[in-house]
Structure 1
Amino acid sequence: MTLAVLMLATPAQAAPRPAPRDAQVWAAAQAARAAQLDLIKAAVNIDSGTGDVEGGRKVAGLLVPRLQALGMTVETIPAEAPGLADNVVATLQGAGKGRILLIGHLDTVFEPGTAARRPFRIDGDKAYGPGVSDEKGGVVQAIYALQILHDLKFRDFGTITFLMESSEERGSPGTRRLIDRLVRAHDVELNLEPGDAPDAITVWRKGSATYQIAVKGRAAHAGVAPQDGRNAAVELIHQLAAIEQFPRSGPGLTANLTILKAGSRDNIIPEDAMGRVNVRVRDKADFDRVEAALQAAAATTVVPDATVAVTRESAYPPLPDNPQTQALAARAQAIYARLGRTLATGGNGGASESALAAEAGTPALDGLGPVGGGFHAEREFLDLATVTPRLYLLTRMMMSLGADPPAR
């Protein structure tokens, strides 16, 4: 009898229950939903493709007053390269020790007029529109996470800095020095790129670079004297055979032709041709391997007198799956478990600023925005079922890291 009572009173074999969710933060996240979706809609319905300076200014104009209303100090910082919209840095001082950097981007890959042609819409459990998840949904999520901290009078952090940059889709050419300065001045970087389906954060990413193959030939009349021409397009086709040795898809190195240009008129042998090859890698050494193959091909031409030049434009290094990132992911998973939800971890070929943070030695966690998919295409969507849980996650992550930042 006594033994039975002791066994019932000591559930040592039962699985431990996760700590209860933060009721105040959860209630605030739920209450924010309608306004959050309205702001995402307003941001998505403004075109802001990379290089659309006026569009970038309009989106920033929509969001900056909300940050200022939270008591944040907001700076508008000119882009570091011509033809790009300004960057925005908003800073909030607390009373604790953790220095947290949030990074999101306002630019999209879409051309002017896209928002008017297919504006924000909700269909079932998904929202659609240009940049809805990549990454205006994440940027707006950060604003509402900051709003919740403000409303709850939470100040147990040293500094929260929010960078809204304008050129991530081109590898951040307008923000590289600014990012480098900011990541070195903070204890941790949280990135607002979308989560992956069904509900994952990002612990690794491929690095990215683009190789341009430029061919110079000789123009000639295509009917009267084609023999006098040197067809740059034909030579470019020969050069592009060099990338066939590399995979087009898969978990490692990939190389894909993305832009091809040649010729100007039907009756002229093309004098110039150009191809751009986008390369993604897990191992930085693979960048050099691709370049060596392209340079070797450039040394031999099939069109007499044609010349070939290969140049490389690096965007981001790989984001490695490292112990610092895994520790942050474990913290995020524990927070999410309090909602009764499972947070997976994974990676993909989409590069981001978190790689720059990790390379500088700053712990980084990516994919903290709402879950999305169909990126860089008309089918891009945001999973509405993840909007409120992901807002809770980001808010609680900032609270946790503000009080207990990771060691660098």
Structure 2
Amino acid sequence: MSTEFPATALPFDAEEILARLMRWAACESPTFDAAAVNRMMDLASRDFALLGARIDRIPGRMGLGDCVRARFAHPMGDDAPGICVMAHLDTVHPVGTLAKLPIRREGNRCYGPGIFDMKGGTVTSLEAMRQILAAGIRTKLPVTFLLTSDEEIGSPSTRDLIEAEAARSRYVLVPEPARPDGGVVTGRYAIARFNLRTTGRPSHAGSRLSEGRSAIREMAKQILAIEEMTTEDCTFSVGVIHGGQWVNCVTTTCEAEALSMAKRQEDLDAGVAKMLALRSTSNDVQFEVTRGVTRPVWEPDANGMALFERARRIANSIGFDINPQSSGGGSDGNFTGAMGVTTLDGLGVQGGMAHTLEEHVLIDSLVPRAKLMAGLLSTLD
């Protein structure tokens, strides 16, 4: 037993953690289905309320789901800067994915939609708090969990809430998935999203094809040009496209979404300028680019690295090691870290294949990651 981190010796049980995680993963919660996300928020709210947390339900906006803030009572009071565990409960998997990706256990793996990104880390964090409370350990700082509803689309409706809660906090802990080697995240790359739209001229594709100007054709040209702008400093990709309704009609409009990522803010800014400078390849077809949600670069700093070193000591006391990494992919840690709030990300479980029909967690990582979070929650001051 570690005398420095006694919470890591609490009786964590992988089967109990897994049982709750499987229930959470079975509650499908894709970002764009507000009712489904709210069902997940109901489930999480009940679990946190059973631990004695004060639950604040924050209504969603922009047609997206609600958020939940769970505060645990502390002698320092609600206004004292404390620890915010920042997690999202939306996933990329549409309702019905369970038919293709059922909750199932195979050896050391458990599969399910959103089980890795990031319900696994949220459940292990909940379990860490449950064990701390059951043992009568008093955290040195107040603890708040903020559960958001739209991280998978860049947090357009919750960024203000995230930043407001972070501004009231001394530390932000983000239980996004661990890195492949089990490491944690001390910085994240910048990410910008773009909405693309082409507008052509309709015609009958069978009898009057030459009179039309296809919006799909123009979008196809633009997609190739956009993705060919990728360099080692800044990447570009198009992941969504919608156009056309009838195959016998030359399409009037086509819409798409693009993503750009860079390790440095100046490289992303240059990439944004390139995107916004794109023009139509033909005078007969219009092409518009509008900037969407942007996640700023979060660069490692001294306070963040000091928090990492504490986490590493806790991990070592449990029996494993962690490395610090800057990472792509983006999370709400981009916002809090860029604000200068001491942030540590990637504290969730190990697993793989996020956002696919093979998404899974490694069961033997549940207890060590829960212990790591318990060590942080119980000793940060």
Larger Rg: 1
Decide whether the 8 Å contact of 1:95 with 1:156 is kept in 2: no
Decide whether the 8 Å contact of 2:8 with 2:318 is kept in 1: no
Alignment match, 2:145: 162
Work out the CA distance in 2 between the residues paired with 1:44 and 1:245.
Answer: 37
- Give the stretch that moved more between structures: 226-235 or 191-200: 226-235
Decide whether the 8 Å contact of 2:10 with 2:131 is kept in 1: no
Decide whether the 8 Å contact of 1:332 with 1:393 is kept in 2: yes
Decide whether the 8 Å contact of 2:28 with 2:95 is kept in 1: yes
Alignment match, 1:12: none
Task: Percent identity, please.
Answer: 28
Check 1:114–1:245 CA distance in 2 against 1; reply closer, same or farther (3 A cut).
closer
Secondary structure in 2 matching 1:90? strand
Structure 2 spans left out of the alignment, 5+ residues: none
Check 1:60–1:240 CA distance in 2 against 1; reply closer, same or farther (3 A cut).
closer
Cα drift, residue 178 of structure 1: 1.1
Decide whether the 8 Å contact of 2:186 with 2:326 is kept in 1: yes
Q: 2:288 aligns with which of 309, 313, 319?
A: 309
Structure 1 spans left out of the alignment, 5+ residues: 1-17
Aligned residues: 378
Structure-to-structure mapping, 1:52-63, within 5 angstroms: 52-63=33-44
1:322-351, Cα deviation, whole Å (9 max, x unpaired): 222211111100111112211122232211
1:348 equivalenced with 2:322 (yes/no): no
Check 1:398–1:110 CA distance in 2 against 1; reply closer, same or farther (3 A cut).
same
Check 1:98–1:332 CA distance in 2 against 1; reply closer, same or farther (3 A cut).
farther
Work out the CA distance in 2 between the residues paired with 1:264 and 1:286.
Answer: 38
Alignment match, 2:373: 394
1:132 equivalenced with 2:115 (yes/no): yes
Scaled by the length of structure 2, the TM-score of the pair is 0.93
Structure-to-structure mapping, 1:255-294, within 5 angstroms: 255-294=236-275
Secondary structure in 1 matching 2:169? coil
Decide whether the 8 Å contact of 2:114 with 2:359 is kept in 1: yes
Report the residue type matching 1:335 in the other structure.
I
Secondary structure in 2 matching 1:337? helix
Work out the CA distance in 2 between the residues paired with 1:92 and 1:64.
Answer: 13
Alignment match, 1:246: 229
Decide whether the 8 Å contact of 2:156 with 2:293 is kept in 1: no
1:146-168, Cα deviation, whole Å (9 max, x unpaired): 10111121224231110111111
Check 1:193–1:187 CA distance in 2 against 1; reply closer, same or farther (3 A cut).
same
Alignment match, 1:88: 68
Scaled by the length of structure 1, the TM-score of the pair is 0.87
Check 1:388–1:285 CA distance in 2 against 1; reply closer, same or farther (3 A cut).
same
Cα drift, residue 286 of structure 1: 2.9
Cα drift, residue 70 of structure 1: 2.0
Decide whether the 8 Å contact of 2:139 with 2:377 is kept in 1: no
Q: 2:28 aligns with which of 47, 55, 60?
A: 47
Check 1:95–1:334 CA distance in 2 against 1; reply closer, same or farther (3 A cut).
same
Structure-to-structure mapping, 1:328-407, within 5 angstroms: 328-401=307-380, 404=381
CA RMSD, 1 decimal = 2.0
- Give the stretch that moved more between structures: 64-73 or 182-191: 64-73
Q: 2:302 aligns with which of 323, 327, 334?
A: 323
Secondary structure in 2 matching 1:233? helix
Work out the CA distance in 2 between the residues paired with 1:280 and 1:179.
Answer: 21
Secondary structure in 2 matching 1:193? coil
Alignment match, 1:110: 93
Cα drift, residue 24 of structure 1: 5.5
Secondary structure in 2 matching 1:172? coil
Alignment match, 1:78: 59
Secondary structure in 2 matching 1:370? coil
Report the residue type matching 1:160 in the other structure.
V
